[in-house]
Structure 1
């Protein structure tokens, strides 16, 4: 069994196509198909069901895929560890982030990181805070930037609080509230809202604030990105609440301070165990170390 065969299997599984997988792996399709057939003979089981319309994993392929990914990750990790032993940092760094990161200028941090460690390939994954925590625990991401309600507590990871922020109301420029300097939750409760999906950390902080004030609101639109939130607000379909530190990045909308606004805390989190050299280098650039006294566990 060869690592290249595993790469081919993963490529086919992710593209659902031998043709696209061959293009991704920069080989001719016949060579890729031959190597997968060799692997299937060695395993004694078919990994893919092939029809004229589609390619999909068999139950054996579903069982094989996670182990294949782990083998490739281990191989990449071995190469990175050897490079680190001779003073080089290379390999892959996977960073998770929420769409509204504001406490850190992540683009500038990544620019500096790339200048220092040009051999590291960087994978950015955008998601909800609670998803990123689980992905970090599972080893899918190595470092993540989150935004959580002040009532939340992180467990099973190392964490550093980066900043605390309050939410502001976001309205269309011609909305009646746009001319106000401040607005209350009670006044906002009469508006139609666009917000993040229910039960996500970014939504919970607002839901808790309205509930604590004895108020209800109509969330007519649920979307997964701050960009879409601002676009729906711009068109006058709804109002929203977003972090004040993120608000300067918005265009086409107006922000209004909320007198009894909910708050959120931004964190950077990282694994308590088994970090790659690239992850350690990234944390060092942020001046964060796993042994730092201010980290949460």
Structure 2
């Protein structure tokens, strides 16, 4: 058994297709199939159930792929550590980012990072803050930019607060409150709201603010994309509460939206999060570009 065989198996498991897996691995399909068949013979089990239309992992295949990914990640880490010891940073950096990130200009940050570490391959993933934190804990992400309620910190990861922000009320330009100098949550509790999906950190920020004020509200539209929230709001279907640093540039270019400060509105923090265990050379390089000194841990 060797690492190349593991890479072939993982590629087939992810693509569910021998032809696409061979293309991903830059090898002819017959060679990939032959190496996997040899591995199955060595292990004495079938890793894949094949038919004319599809390829599925067997139970033995699922168990093998889970450990194969760990082995491949360890091999990549070993190569990256060896290169870093010689003064070269290379490998892979997986970065998570929420769609409303505003504390850091992520494209500009990646441009600076690329200029200093051109041999690192960067993978970007957007998602919910809680999902990104879980991905760091599972080793799927190296670092992430999060948005969380002000009184909340993610567990199981290292964090650094990058900025504090407050939400503003987003209303259609013709709304009765457009142009108001400020409002309170009580002033807007009777409005129809457009918000993020229930249970997400982005939604929790507004829910907690209304609960703390002893108020209920009607969330008629639950949306997974912030761009859709602003579009529905501009159409007059509801009002929204969104982080000011993120939404101000959008409203400046959209005459259909107006922003109103909220005296007792939600507040959030933007955080940088990374693994509390051994950070890869590529991760340490990113922390260096950000001006963050990672805390050392025993055994890390």
Pairwise TM-score range, normalised by the shorter structure: over 0.9
Cα deviation code 1:54-103 (max 9, x no counterpart): 22111111111111111111111111111111110000011111111111
Q: 1:268 aligned to 2:272?
A: yes
Q: 1:49 aligned to 2:49?
A: yes
CA-based RMSD of the aligned residues comes to 1.7
Equivalents in 2 of 1:3, 1:159: separation in Å?
A: 34
- In the alignment, what sits opposite 1:21? 21
The answer to which of 26-35 and 200-209 deviates more is: 26-35
- In the alignment, what sits opposite 1:197? 197
Evaluate the alpha carbon distance shift between residue 54 and residue 254 of structure 1 in structure 2; reply closer, same or farther with a 3 A threshold: farther
- In the alignment, what sits opposite 1:114? 114
SS in structure 1 of the partner of residue 245 of structure 2:
coil
1:20-99, aligned counterparts within 5 Å?
A: 20-99=20-99
For structure 2, the residue ranges without an aligned partner over 5 or more in a row are none
1:240 CA displacement: 1.4
SS in structure 2 of the partner of residue 183 of structure 1:
coil
Cα deviation code 1:161-208 (max 9, x no counterpart): 111100011223333333333232223222222222212111111001
- In the alignment, what sits opposite 2:282? 278
Cα deviation code 1:129-179 (max 9, x no counterpart): 112222112211111111111221333322111111000112233333333
Equivalents in 2 of 1:29, 1:89: separation in Å?
A: 33
Cα deviation code 1:239-290 (max 9, x no counterpart): 2111001013425333221122110011111222111111001001111012
- In the alignment, what sits opposite 2:105? 105
Evaluate the alpha carbon distance shift between residue 238 and residue 65 of structure 1 in structure 2; reply closer, same or farther with a 3 A threshold: farther
Equivalents in 2 of 1:233, 1:48: separation in Å?
A: 49
For structure 1, the residue ranges without an aligned partner over 5 or more in a row are 293-297
- In the alignment, what sits opposite 1:287? 291
1:10 CA displacement: 1.5
- In the alignment, what sits opposite 1:138? 138
1:23 CA displacement: 2.0
**TM-score in terms of structure 2 length:** 0.92
Equivalents in 1 of 2:115, 2:68: separation in Å?
A: 32
